[in-house]
Structure 1
């Protein structure tokens, strides 16, 4: 084990968090701390409030990684370099975090410290902006000692980009904690109240969850909603999330009188799931979408685009539609709403599929095995 691999008698792992995967990282570092690893988390100041890394036993250092660009800001690199002092392993989540970590380790940083990069997602880069993204992808995966891809397509992409060591590591998402299950009658009352609050007493309720950003595919969903709007009793689409495209989506919903509600950020997703007839996921690309996992765990039928790692995640337990075909998406939803037996079968299959996914303990054990392997290398 290298001399850097021990911190106060323990392995010291520094996790670098970008803009995503906070829930996964919080779960992971909590499991690592419980198993005797000293953990520091570097990430945006808001992340501590959102994910309470300190409550897991980790040390939190506020470092705003900033926007992706073709250079690394000196203050950010300096802050990371200071946080990496004495580290036995650095573990970055996301390619921008990985790139900055590699720069910090190589620019007067801790020489010989292994860098693990977990690639959580990102659609294949295209267009003029894709030139920068492809450069970033190559630099990040080639700098990493080990790349952990959360889906097989990301593993294949990392290998094609020249990564030295790539492994499949489907990141477990923590199951919601909180109140115990409600009695059936109370749960049904809440379900009906939630539906009434959103104007879906006598019509199907479709739930979408995700940031209002281009990759979520909400333009396709509104195209599908235009098909549903012609029905005698159109389903109501409720979208939980916030983002930069809210104004554009609102204008289109109003102009075309679409049966769509923008709910904004919500902290009651389990209640919305319990009230929904279907979950819809129209994304341009996904690896292991959180809402897809939550839907299958809850037994809510899912209609999603067949992109990225979705098929690998859901198997036969969801209806998958090619991206870019709103008529096919609309038809898949309409057909499923008309087929109660199929919805019941998908509900059962969804829970069964969810039971096959790695647990949080499985994820911690895999990451620990990687750390052990890397710190034992000569």
Structure 2
């Protein structure tokens, strides 16, 4: 089949999900196109695994340009003539559903609900749009049961599917901690917490920095590394400079490969405010590292039952976060044991090859017997 993925954003976890799907779908013999803006990693990485990349200029947030973005997307879809369109995240979900309006079998994958990311009138307007636009998606694909439950609770009436996120467990195989620390120029013995994620409000690094002084009080030799770039980088750097122990925190910036930092870590922390199911904890578990997460959609589901109490804290609770971090960093041997068990869980439950197979089955269901079957040959609308 011919599959068209449409994505904005072009970095972070969403881009990695798209690239993993493209890789698996190309290996299965499908013709795969990716429409996305220039810049970021998605275009280059998708092309490197066999996708035909189409330039789709689009801003990350909705605005006055959204209508023209949808119009360009409509033309692109008509030219590509795909059997299946897969929309990734809120912006592509907005422009794509406006452009296609159900004329081609369409899967919308929110990667966390847009109305969870905003407040007040904007949240209400976003929710109204999502309720309206469900008519133009043949499946709403969620990455966690909680993400689907939140959509149902918000009044979204849709044909649902749930496929948990996965990572390439071979790519994130465990590596030796000492060698990683030598290569990165890190203290060989200091307890190290690592946060891998885009530096933005969603990922909650500000809460992590608020918790850090209490961690240092309990574990004075501890170190913290924030791995990633993003819009909050300057603000977080200022917070670090103004702290009592700025030398104990390192802002690494964006890196092409987080594996050395995962290998160096004793504990991987992600204090998100909202998620669908974050990839960073799955990568850490595949690398045999213990994780500490906030209780957002996907967090408990990605963990084995034995880890769900000590590895999850309430969102925006710096005190609880500090307590659990200090407990973990005080016992590196137990961190090693936990990491080994989590590696086994990641291999069994979150291998990306299983994700590709489940998404392929979803597509085939739509094209063969689902509600899209009767609409496959409908024309993409001429006007937005």
TM-score between both structures, scaled by the size of structure 2: 0.84
Distance apart, 1:88 and its partner CA: 1.8
Q: Choose the corresponding residue for 2:99, options 104, 108, 118.
A: 104
Higher relative CO (Cα under 8 Å, sequence separation at least 6) belongs to 2
8 Å CA contact retained: 1:223, 1:326: yes
Q: Does the C-alpha gap of structure 1 residues 46 and 327 become closer, same or farther in structure 2, counting only changes over 3 Å?
A: same
Distance apart, 1:48 and its partner CA: 6.1
Q: How does 1:38-117 map to 2 (within 5 A)?
A: 38-47=31-40, 51-69=44-62, 73-85=66-78, 86-106=81-101, 112-117=103-108
SS at match of 1:363: helix
What is the CA–CA distance in structure 2 between the aligned matches of 1:340 and 1:203, rounded to whole Å? Answer: 10
Tell me the alpha carbon deviations over residues 53-97 of structure 1, each in whole angstroms, 9 at most, x when there is no partner. Answer: 223332110102213326663432232112212222211111221
Tell me the alpha carbon deviations over residues 322-361 of structure 1, each in whole angstroms, 9 at most, x when there is no partner. Answer: 1222122111111122234532331222112102224333
Aligned to 1:284: 273
Aligned to 1:244: 231
Aligned to 2:381: none
What is the CA–CA distance in structure 1 between the aligned matches of 2:350 and 2:208, rounded to whole Å? Answer: 30
Unaligned runs of 5+ in 1: 1-10
Aligned to 1:22: 15
What is the CA–CA distance in structure 2 between the aligned matches of 1:12 and 1:188, rounded to whole Å? Answer: 43
Distance apart, 1:225 and its partner CA: 0.7
8 Å CA contact retained: 1:152, 1:168: yes
Q: Does the C-alpha gap of structure 1 residues 54 and 247 become closer, same or farther in structure 2, counting only changes over 3 Å?
A: closer
Aligned to 1:129: 122
Q: How does 1:1-378 map to 2 (within 5 A)?
A: 11-19=1-9, 21-47=14-40, 51-69=44-62, 73-85=66-78, 86-106=81-101, 112-122=103-113, 124=116, 125-160=118-153, 161-175=155-169, 177=171, 187=176, 190-194=179-183, 197-198=185-186, 200-231=187-218, 233-258=220-245, 259-315=248-304, 316-317=306-307, 319-376=311-368, 377-378=373-374
SS at match of 1:355: helix
TM-score between both structures, scaled by the size of structure 1: 0.85
Q: How many residues matched?
A: 357
Q: CA RMSD in A?
A: 2.6
Q: Does the C-alpha gap of structure 1 residues 311 and 48 become closer, same or farther in structure 2, counting only changes over 3 Å?
A: closer
8 Å CA contact retained: 1:18, 1:96: yes
What is the CA–CA distance in structure 2 between the aligned matches of 1:189 and 1:75, rounded to whole Å? Answer: 52
8 Å CA contact retained: 2:165, 2:279: no
What is the CA–CA distance in structure 2 between the aligned matches of 1:50 and 1:236, rounded to whole Å? Answer: 35
What is the CA–CA distance in structure 1 between the aligned matches of 2:170 and 2:200, rounded to whole Å? Answer: 25
8 Å CA contact retained: 1:96, 1:136: no
